[in-house]
A and B are shown apart, each in its own frame.
Chain A
């Protein structure tokens, strides 16, 4: 075949493949927005469900999801960054660190329902947190860890070795070097990775299913040992467990959830772009 023709065919195939990626995203968004946008208003976002959740707002579920993801990130971020700094800056190449690395990669591949069961066994039952916000946060935190560690290590790696050498050559200790040169310059990457991991777990149903999520609560959670409603689980309930559910309400809830995730992704992109512009080396 004429190489030019072959190239044209190849490019066309590649282009069509790329389009196929976009189609489902656009389609999903279009359906959800079309079916759900009508119900979104201030009232829907800020009031309690009414009439067996067939009417009213979804405020407790929104609040619950916000509490869960922020609690989870407060646990996973420090642990993840500490682990990443240790692995990247101190540990070096040893059999033990290779095993740890392998474990982290595998942790990222564990199905979310397994995390849920693990959370149930460890936090709810063994540590006797009960079905509670703290148990849910811990479970989500473990799910976030591999993403945060991997992103943080990449961010640390992207800080040039020469910066470390300059700092050490001036008599700074390794910790001073990490604290003053490496971490500040790795921070944008760490933040971006963290937000992406939060966005990912915000929509997870399985890990919170056994550990924290409530079918319906007449009041907002009062302590970290209370249960809470959460958007993904609420969405599952109202789409499958309640008869005569207004379609609009289901899609409206889905739209809120997907918007929260998109906003977080957008924040990550903005941070990345902002710091890439500021980046000097």
Chain B
């Protein structure tokens, strides 16, 4: 169950990760790895540490002063806390937030924001990146004629796909989805899930979700977090049909959480 040695094909290797906010222990001894090109679903009740885990991987937690971390996290073999600077790390590990958060600018500028911050200023290059990213996020056809409109004019589902395109535009290796469909209707949810399955051909994805069914639909492997601990991780099919831990079984069968 517990993986201790990094392998080459592992995009993220995490060993004995402890996270604390002040006195509060948010994660205790997480060890897992994420393989290249897979979708790893993370399920668990509220306050199980799922989101904290994601925000540790792109070091967004460090905005909190009380944040303390111990343990090792490797991104393709490089230590994210000592061998990669935060800007590069976040460029390589993109994040989709729970609610769609367009920046208050045009659709085009939203997608071009990341590349611009990384020094790309040529209009032609940016146009290419924007088109490709929007296509990958299944949004291009809906917005190609209104790129200069405010991103806030889009519907909630479109906004979330815009956020996906914006993340893709900086060319990440890994994409973290933090409950990306919690504010969306079933049809928008289906489109986001569709794009995820398409995207795993080129990206490694970690999907944190409150929705157990969503994990069973899209993830290749699933991890179950409970109160800051990793209870169980395994192939989605195996975990859902024959969980090894009683708590996993109780959670996925809806007995708590």
Residues in B with CB closer than 8 Å to A166 are: 97, 101, 103, 163, 166
Bound-complex Cα distance A166 to B170 (A): 13
B213 at the interface (CB under 8 A from A): no
Task: Assess whether A171 is in contact with B60, with CB atoms less than 8 Å apart.
Answer: no
Question: Given contacts A169-B94, A170-B166, A171-B90, are A281 and B104 in contact (CB under 8 A)?
Answer: yes
Contact of B114 among A160, A165, A172, A185 (CB under 8 A): A172
Question: Given contacts A168-B90, A169-B60, A170-B166, are A92 and B65 in contact (CB under 8 A)?
Answer: yes
A162 at the interface (CB under 8 A from B): yes
Query: Which chain A residue shows the least CB distance to B166?
Result: A170
Residues in B with CB closer than 8 Å to A176 are: 117
Residues in A with CB closer than 8 Å to B65 are: 92-93
Task: Assess whether B88 is in contact with A280, with CB atoms less than 8 Å apart.
Answer: no
Residues in A with CB closer than 8 Å to B195 are: none
Residue in B58, B104, B152 whose Cβ sees the most chain A Cβ within 10 Å:
B104
Interface size, B (range): 20 to 34
Residues in A with CB closer than 8 Å to B181 are: none
Query: Which chain B residue shows the least CB distance to A92?
Result: B65
Task: Assess whether A172 is in contact with B87, with CB atoms less than 8 Å apart.
Answer: yes
Task: Assess whether A171 is in contact with B114, with CB atoms less than 8 Å apart.
Answer: yes
Query: Which chain A residue shows the least CB distance to B113?
Result: A170
B7 at the interface (CB under 8 A from A): no
Task: Assess whether B117 is in contact with A170, with CB atoms less than 8 Å apart.
Answer: yes
Bound-complex Cα distance A248 to B99 (A): 63
Interface size, A (range): 20 to 34
Task: Assess whether A171 is in contact with B87, with CB atoms less than 8 Å apart.
Answer: yes
Bound-complex Cα distance A280 to B163 (A): 17
**Whole-angstrom distance between the Cβ of B172 and the nearest chain A Cβ:** 9
Question: Given contacts A92-B65, A163-B101, are A168 and B88 in contact (CB under 8 A)?
Answer: no
Contact of A167 among B58, B91, B113, B150 (CB under 8 A): B113
Task: Assess whether A169 is in contact with B117, with CB atoms less than 8 Å apart.
Answer: no
CB 8 Å contact bits of B164-176 with A (1 = contact, 0 = none): 0011001000000
Bound-complex Cα distance A93 to B166 (A): 32
Contact of A171 among B88, B101, B103, B152 (CB under 8 A): B88
A97 at the interface (CB under 8 A from B): no
Interface residues of B in 124-175 (CB under 8 A from A): 150, 152, 163, 166-167, 170
Residues in B with CB closer than 8 Å to A279 are: 104
Task: Assess whether A171 is in contact with B150, with CB atoms less than 8 Å apart.
Answer: no
CB 8 Å contact bits of A138-172 with B (1 = contact, 0 = none): 00000000000000000000001011011111111
B118 at the interface (CB under 8 A from A): yes
**Whole-angstrom distance between the Cβ of B205 and the nearest chain A Cβ:** 15
Contact of B103 among A167, A168, A173 (CB under 8 A): A167
Interface residues of B in 65-108 (CB under 8 A from A): 65, 87-91, 94-95, 97, 99, 101, 103-104
**Whole-angstrom distance between the Cβ of A52 and the nearest chain B Cβ:** 58
Bound-complex Cα distance A162 to B63 (A): 12
Residues in A with CB closer than 8 Å to B113 are: 167, 170, 172, 180
Task: Assess whether A170 is in contact with B152, with CB atoms less than 8 Å apart.
Answer: no
Question: Given contacts A165-B97, A166-B97, A280-B152, are A171 and B118 in contact (CB under 8 A)?
Answer: yes
Residues in A with CB closer than 8 Å to B88 are: 171
Question: Given contacts A167-B103, A171-B91, A181-B103, are A281 and B152 in contact (CB under 8 A)?
Answer: yes
Residues in B with CB closer than 8 Å to A170 are: 90-91, 94, 113-114, 117, 166-167, 170
Query: Which chain B residue shows the least CB distance to A279?
Result: B104
Residue in A163, A166, A167, A281 whose Cβ sees the most chain B Cβ within 10 Å:
A166
Residues in A with CB closer than 8 Å to B170 are: 170-171
Bound-complex Cα distance A3 to B200 (A): 66
Task: Assess whether B104 is in contact with A185, with CB atoms less than 8 Å apart.
Answer: yes
CB 8 Å contact bits of A215-237 with B (1 = contact, 0 = none): 00000000000000000000000
Contact of B101 among A92, A162, A173, A185 (CB under 8 A): A162
Chain A interface (Cβ within 8 Å of chain B)? 92-93, 160, 162-163, 165-173, 176, 180-181, 185, 279-281
Chain B interface (Cβ within 8 Å of chain A)? 58, 60, 63, 65, 87-91, 94-95, 97, 99, 101, 103-104, 113-114, 117-118, 150, 152, 163, 166-167, 170
15 more contacts with CB within 8 A, not counting A168-B90, A169-B167, are A163-B103, A166-B103, A166-B163, A167-B103, A168-B63, A170-B94, A170-B114, A170-B166, A170-B170, A171-B88, A171-B91, A171-B114, A172-B87, A280-B150, A280-B152
Rank and list the top 8 A-B pairs by shortest CB-CB distance, nearest first: A171-B91, A170-B114, A172-B117, A280-B152, A171-B90, A169-B95, A162-B101, A171-B87
